């Protein structure tokens, strides 16, 4: 019988989640909360989170010191399973090398943004992050959040039998059909950190090319957590908006609450996502849930996560990005006028508005919280029962 089949004190298992920080409006932090929810629902499991910062007060958080403090911490030493959420180098992740001497270890691999897309001052950090991936060889299982992340591990000669893809859960915004939206004006939105790798300047340059090519009024809103954005790049984005001649139709929203972001999704028609690198890209699934069509670069995980329901072009090709935006902007009013006709030029082929709404909602069912919790629970049970 499984050790987890009884709720007795003798059978209880201690699970520790280690992550540098847990904050609002952050994809890794949200996945930490979802991991905690999955473990909290398991009988016979006590779960704690150890980090340097935790803004989500509902979570059972323990403040972490440095690596030496962690290795001597009673919660760490008693853990039957230690789960790391890795996205960038911190010394806490060096605990993987030795563990606590008895507990199993697993790591969620959220991937690392390549150095070429980041400012000079980030180069050493990225190099250290790529080196720290080698620590994964000492854990029992690796849980990449996308198949493309798993492929990177295979390229590094990690044992495929220890790699198990667990896609992130995306449970917001509330499901909404594209067909029910008002098309005057057509609303575009970018959602993500305002950093060079997200291609925000490319998007503004593409917007400038739309003049005279679209017959429908268009507005763009740029939504991004300013705390985690690059201040120098943000200044460039503000200057580009001011110098574009499009300032009245481009709004830099900045950080948005969950409620405000849902409202923006439900008002918008196109997610503009000209990112150069995405290990998962939650905004694409959020957009499909909210009735938006993703348009952007076919970079890293974006073609996989979009599932054919967007229109993606080669990374860095601003002219192609402008063409894709113009083509879809001009097609949308026609699609609204004839929702059963295949008038949306998507990567999956010409698609009707009605079919887009139905098929995209079926697709996003793969990323529900229940699916994530089921996958985590399965892996955790197997590890704790070994």
The per-residue pLDDT for range 9-25, each reduced to its tens digit, is 457 999 999 999 998 88
272 found inside a domain: yes
Q: Which residues, 6 or more positions from 371, have their beta carbon under 8 angstroms from its beta carbon?
A: 167, 169, 365
pLDDT at residue number 4:
54
Q: Are residues 157 and 210 in the same domain?
A: no
- Contact indicator for 239, 358 with CB cutoff of 8 Å: no
Q: Are residues 120 and 252 in the same domain?
A: no
> Residue 208: which CATH number?
3.40.50.2000
Q: Which of 262, 269, 93 is nearest to 180 (CA)?
A: 269
Mean pLDDT (whole number) for 53-70: 89
Query: Over the stretch 104-124, which tens digit does the pLDDT of each residue have?
Result: 999 999 999 888 888 888 899
Q: Are residues 45 and 131 in the same domain?
A: yes
Query: Over the stretch 208-259, which tens digit does the pLDDT of each residue have?
Result: 999 889 988 999 999 998 888 899 999 999 999 999 999 889 999 999 999 9
Number of compact structural domains in the chain: 2
262 found inside a domain: yes
Q: Are residues 78 and 124 in the same domain?
A: yes
Q: Are residues 154 and 218 in the same domain?
A: no
Q: Are residues 192 and 128 in the same domain?
A: no
Q: Which residues, 6 or more positions from 13, have their beta carbon under 8 angstroms from its beta carbon?
A: 3, 4, 44, 45, 46, 80, 81, 384
Domain that holds residue 23: 9-169+368-384
pLDDT at residue number 235:
96
**Separation CA 82–CA 293 (nearest Å):** 38
Q: Are residues 318 and 185 in the same domain?
A: yes
What percent of the chain clears pLDDT 70, i.e. is strictly above it? 97
Cβ atoms within 10 A of the Cβ of 223, count? 22
235 found inside a domain: yes
130 found inside a domain: yes
β pairing state of 344-346 and 349-351:
antiparallel
Query: Over the stretch 288-347, which tens digit does the pLDDT of each residue have?
Result: 999 999 999 999 999 999 999 999 999 999 999 999 999 999 999 999 999 999 999 999
- Contact indicator for 342, 350 with CB cutoff of 8 Å: yes
Cβ atoms within 10 A of the Cβ of 170, count? 27
Q: Are residues 14 and 145 in the same domain?
A: yes
Q: Are residues 34 and 131 in the same domain?
A: yes
**Separation CA 376–CA 211 (nearest Å):** 48
Q: Which of 201, 192, 213, 196 is nearest to 242 (CA)?
A: 201
243 found inside a domain: yes
3 found inside a domain: no
Q: Are residues 185 and 319 in the same domain?
A: yes
1 found inside a domain: no
């Amino acid at each position: 019988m499984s050790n987890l089949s009884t709720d007795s004190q003798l059978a209880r298992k201690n699970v520790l989640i280690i992550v540098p920080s847990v904050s609002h409006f952050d994809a890794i932090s949200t996945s930490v909360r979802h991991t905690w929810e999955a473990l909290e629902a398991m009988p016979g499991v006590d779960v704690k989170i150890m980090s340097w910062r935790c803004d989500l007060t509902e979570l059972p958080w323990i403040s972490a010191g440095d690596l030496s403090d962690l290795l001597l911490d009673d919660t760490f030493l008693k853990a039957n399973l230690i789960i790391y959420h890795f996205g960038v180098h911190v010394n806490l992740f060096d605990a993987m090398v030795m563990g606590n001497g008895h507990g199993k270890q697993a790591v969620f691999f959220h991937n690392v943004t390549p150095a070429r897309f980041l400012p000079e001052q980030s180069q050493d950090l990225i190099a250290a992050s790529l080196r720290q991936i080698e620590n994964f060889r000492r854990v029992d299982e690796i849980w990449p959040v996308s198949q493309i992340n798993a492929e990177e591990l295979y390229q590094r000669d990690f044992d495929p039998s220890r790699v198990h893809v667990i896609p992130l859960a995306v449970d917001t915004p509330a499901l909404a059909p594209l067909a029910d939206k008002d098309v005057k004006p057509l609303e575009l939105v970018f959602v993500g950190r305002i950093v060079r790798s997200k291609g925000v300047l490319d998007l503004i340059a593409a917007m400038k090319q739309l003049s005279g090519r679209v017959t429908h009024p268009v507005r763009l809103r740029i939504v991004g957590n300013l705390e985690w954005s690059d201040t120098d790049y943000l200044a460039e984005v503000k200057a580009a908006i001011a110098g574009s001649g499009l300032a009245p139709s481009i709004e830099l929203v900045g950080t948005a609450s969950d409620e405000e972001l849902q409202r923006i999704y439900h008002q918008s028609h196109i997610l503009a996502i000209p990112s150069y690198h995405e290990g998962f890209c939650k905004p694409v699934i959020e957009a499909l849930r909210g009735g938006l069509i993703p348009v952007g670069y076919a970079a890293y995980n974006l073609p996989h996560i979009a599932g054919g329901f967007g229109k993606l072009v080669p990374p860095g090709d601003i002219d192609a990005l402008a063409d894709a935006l113009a083509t879809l902007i001009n097609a949308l009013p026609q699609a609204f006028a004839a929702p059963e006709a295949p008038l949306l030029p998507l990567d999956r082929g010409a698609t009707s508005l009605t079919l887009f709404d139905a098929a995209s909602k079926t697709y996003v069912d793969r990323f529900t919280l229940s699916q994530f919790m089921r996958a985590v629970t399965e892996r955790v049970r197997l590890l704790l029962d070994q």
